[in-house]
Amino acid sequence: MSGRPLDVLEAALDDTVTITLKDGSAYHGTLAGYDQHMNAVLDPAMASETVDPGTLDVTEVEDTTIIRGDNIVTINV
């Protein structure tokens, strides 16, 4: 796998991810989709794992959530 961002997102489909936003909040769920603008679609996590929130406000996704790519800082698998 190459290190190109869209290739990394492709490999992370259906995996549980934590997406950190510019405002410091984060969303935890299953990566269900994305597009060329890095807009991301999260579904509720099937198997919940422990999230180390640190100083972040981490929210587990309860419904399908679409996050605009312009607001994303990091995506952790």
Domains of the chain: 5-76 (2.30.30.100)
**Using CA atoms in the order 1, 76, 62, 52, what is the torsion angle rounded to 10 degrees?**
150
Mean pLDDT of 10-19: 95
For the chain, give the mean pLDDT.
88
Task: Please determine, for residue 53, whether its predicted confidence score (pLDDT) is greater than 60.
Answer: no
Under 8 Å between Cβ of 41 and 9: no
- Name the pLDDT band for 2 (thresholds 50, 70, 90): low
- Single out the residue of 34, 46, 42, 39 nearest to residue 18, CA to CA: 42
Give the mean pLDDT of 48-63: 72
The arithmetic mean of pLDDT across residues 43-66, rounded, is 77
Determine the 3-state secondary structure of 74 from DSSP.
strand
